[in-house]
């Protein structure tokens, strides 16, 4: 799997990235530690060298499962993690990084990201300069190789860039969720900032396994996904999937692989995708074997817009109210 440069840093990442939100278990149902560890190992064995996690995923639990999975292969992977919105003061950033290093059983991170902008989720506002000063110190000390942000607008990235080099942004982005294409993606192209998409399969909707009658298990956060909660949206999703199936069949690939193959062909974009078990991780890695023609890419693009054009401009994928 040919790697891609992360912004202008000396870090190179795989186009498909192993996501580990589910490894923290919070807001997920029916997650088994042994399956997650096996999934991460299978991902690495099949060419997905980059693993994304965060301190907030189970308060370090996901980071610990990543460490367990890569204990004998740290030199084969790129580790990405995030500092949450309650730890953006100078000393808190340094302490949070050290906790993540301990959880991940490593002495450096390939990418350290601000998970949410200051003031998110009701936490204190912290000046961008203070947070970025801490991050640039961590970089100078060799504890992190690159700095990224997540859930930032173009304007927020521009502000952060006044105090240090930003090499990546992590927004929700998929064939069925494309708010970043209006402003954020053009900004990233202009400034050579990598886009690391999350919810790259619209939280599983692009797999085609959730029909109109699907009920999520208790504790599964996806019932709050705006694509699912609004029945008109969900009907458009089902219709779009029906139109995508013939394209997948002619390539041949799964619906998920088709959607991911389209996504990593978008400007600056690599895609995070989670897996509950080794079988799913191996299937995700198979995306790189899918070669879509220009005609296929345009057909997929038009089908996706039947879902996204009726949506409002709110970039938040969930309704947490």
Q: Tell me the catalytic residues.
A: 57
DSSP string for residues in 131-153: HHHHHHHHHHTTSBS-EEEES--
- Which three-class secondary structure state does DSSP give residue 165? coil
Cβ partners under 8 Å of residue 93, min gap 6: 83, 87, 131, 134, 135, 138
* Helix axis angle, 231-250 to 294-308, nearest 10°: 170
| CB atoms inside a 10 Å sphere around CB 195 | 21
List the one residue out of 122, 127, 147 whose CA is nearest residue 137.
Answer: 147
**Signed CA dihedral, 148, 267, 309, 233: sign only:** negative
b/e code 287-306 from CB counts within 10 Å (16+ = b): bbebebeeebeebbeebbee
List the one residue out of 231, 234, 245, 257 whose CA is nearest residue 303.
Answer: 245
| CB atoms inside a 10 Å sphere around CB 155 | 11
């Amino acid at each position: 799997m040919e790697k891609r440069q992360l912004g202008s840093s000396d870090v190179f990442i795989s186009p498909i990235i192993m996501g580990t939100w589910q490894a923290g278990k919070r807001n997920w149902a029916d997650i088994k530690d042994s399956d997650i560890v096996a999934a991460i190992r299978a991902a690495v064995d099949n060419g997905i060298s980059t693993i994304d996690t965060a301190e907030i995923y189970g308060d370090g639990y996901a980071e610990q499962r990543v460490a367990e999975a890569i204990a004998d292969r740290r030199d084969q992977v790129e580790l990405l993690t995030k500092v949450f919105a309650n730890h953006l003061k100078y000393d808190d950033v340094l302490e949070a990084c050290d906790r993540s290093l301990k959880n991940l059983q490593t002495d450096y991170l390939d990418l350290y990201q601000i998970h949410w902008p200051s003031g998110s989720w009701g936490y204190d506002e912290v000046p961008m300069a203070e947070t970025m000063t801490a991050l640039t110190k961590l970089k100078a000390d060799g504890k992190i190789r690159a700095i990224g942000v997540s859930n930032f607008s173009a304007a927020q990235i521009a502000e952060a860039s006044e105090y240090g080099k930003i090499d990546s942004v992590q927004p929700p982005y998929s064939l069925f969720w494309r708010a970043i294409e209006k402003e954020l993606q053009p900004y990233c192209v202009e400034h050579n900032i990598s886009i690391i998409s999350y919810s790259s399969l619209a939280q599983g909707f692009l797999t085609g396994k959730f029909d109109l009658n699907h009920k999520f298990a208790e504790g599964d956060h996806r019932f709050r996904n705006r694509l699912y909660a609004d029945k008109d949206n969900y009907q458009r999703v089902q219709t779009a999937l029906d139109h995508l199936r013939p394209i997948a069949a002619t390539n041949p690939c799964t619906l998920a692989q088709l959607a991911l193959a389209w996504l990593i062909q978008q400007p600056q974009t690599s895609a995070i995708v989670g897996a509950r078990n080794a079988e799913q991780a191996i299937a995700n890695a198979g995306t790189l074997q899918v070669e879509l023609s220009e005609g296929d890419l345009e057909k997929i693009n038009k089908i996706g817009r039947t879902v996204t054009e009726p949506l409002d401009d709110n970039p938040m994928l969930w309704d947490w109210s």
